[in-house]
């Protein structure tokens, strides 16, 4: 089992600013995943973060917009940069452990 | 066409009914996951399948690798089962279905 602490749970931000979301896992994991869930839709993978290497981004997502840090095996951050209203969404982190997926509680982001 | 298709999109049932949610996929996979997302956003992993069938309490998940199809069954459904159920497959990365919104009425 894994417990993921994700912060903040929600935020309201101004256009053009940046927000950093943190995920702390109570187990050491090789890969952490970052997802976006837009209103009424399912999850979309943003990137996969491995400790000690650059994150791997999915099509449509770039490092300049969504920089990711993975300083150790239990922690990762995702920054949403230069935000616009289109970035309003739920952002979630996830890990796989013992044949199960575990998710953070999500960050509800609203951009004005 | 999406790589992971779920049906139905929405499902309303009476308490006690047997529920089936279907998932079809078009990519080669190493595993298929069934997830449950409650209002408020929390996501819980229900099953990971690579073959056959798994059962946990009132939940049963099956997968047919040849037909690229999986089903999630809920027996004796209860209002607390009301949630969005999401099918996800992993070739190398995760691909998600759009989800099935289940409402169980008392």
Per residue in A3-61, pLDDT (tens digit) is: 999 999 999 999 999 999 999 999 999 889 999 998 878 889 999 998 888 899 998 99
The answer to whether residue A94 scores a pLDDT higher than 70 is: yes
pLDDT of residue A97: 82
pLDDT value of position B83: 95
**Does B75 touch chain A if contact means CB atoms closer than 8 Å?**
no
CB-based contact, B39 to chain A, within 8 Å = no
Q: Per the CB < 8 Å rule, is A100 touching B93?
A: no
For all residues of chain A together, what is the average pLDDT? 92
In this complex, which of B35, B98, B99 lies closest to A101 when CB atoms are compared?
Answer: B35
Cα dihedral sign, B47-B48-B53-B54: negative
Asked if the Cβ–Cβ distance from A102 to B33 is below 8 Å, we say no
Instruction: Tell me the CB-side half-sphere exposure of residue A2, using CA atoms within 13 A.
Output: 30
- Tell me the per-residue pLDDT of B46-99, one tens digit each, with 9 for 90 and over: 999 999 999 999 999 999 999 999 999 999 999 999 999 999 998 767 788 999
Closest chain A residue to B42, measured at CA: A105
Do B88 and A101 count as a contact with CB atoms less than 8 A apart? Answer: yes
Q: Is the pLDDT of residue B42 over 80?
A: yes
Task: State the pLDDT at residue B1.
Answer: 60
Q: What is the pLDDT of residue B32?
A: 94
CB-based contact (8 Å) between B27 and chain A? no
Q: Do B98 and A41 touch (CB under 8 A)?
A: yes
Residue A98 pLDDT > 80? no
Q: What is the pLDDT of residues A54-87, one digit of tens each?
A: 899 998 999 999 999 999 999 999 999 999 999 9
Q: Where are any strands of DSSP class E within A14-106? A: 19-25, 31-37, 43-50, 56-57, 68-72, 75-80, 89-97, 100-103
Q: How many CB atoms lie within 10 A of CB A84?
A: 10
Q: Closest-CA residue in chain B for A40?
A: B98
Q: In whole angstroms, what is the distance from residue B46 CA to residue B70 CA?
A: 13
More confident residue, B60 or A97: B60
């Amino acid at each position: 089992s894994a417990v993921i602490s994700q912060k903040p749970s929600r935020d309201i931000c101004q256009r053009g600013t940046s927000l950093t979301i943190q995920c702390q896992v109570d187990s050491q994991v090789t890969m952490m995943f970052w997802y976006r869930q837009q209103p009424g839709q399912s999850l979309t993978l943003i990137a996969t973060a491995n400790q000690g290497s650059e994150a791997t981004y999915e099509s449509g997502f770039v490092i300049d917009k969504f920089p990711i840090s993975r300083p150790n095996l239990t922690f990762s951050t995702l920054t949403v940069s230069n935000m616009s209203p289109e970035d309003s969404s739920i952002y979630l982190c996830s890990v796989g452990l013992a044949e199960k997926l575990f998710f953070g509680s999500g960050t509800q982001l609203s951009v004005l | 066409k999406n790589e992971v298709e779920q049906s139905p999109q929405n499902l309303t049932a009476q308490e006690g009914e047997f529920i089936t949610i279907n998932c079809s996929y078009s990519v080669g996979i190493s595993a298929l996951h069934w997830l449950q997302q409650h209002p408020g956003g929390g996501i819980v992993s229900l099953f990971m399948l690579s073959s056959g069938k798994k059962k946990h309490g009132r939940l049963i998940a099956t997968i047919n690798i040849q037909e690229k199809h999986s089903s999630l069954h809920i027996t004796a459904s209860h209002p607390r089962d009301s949630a969005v159920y999401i099918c996800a497959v992993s070739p190398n990365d995760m691909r998600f279905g759009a989800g099935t919104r289940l409402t169980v009425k008392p």
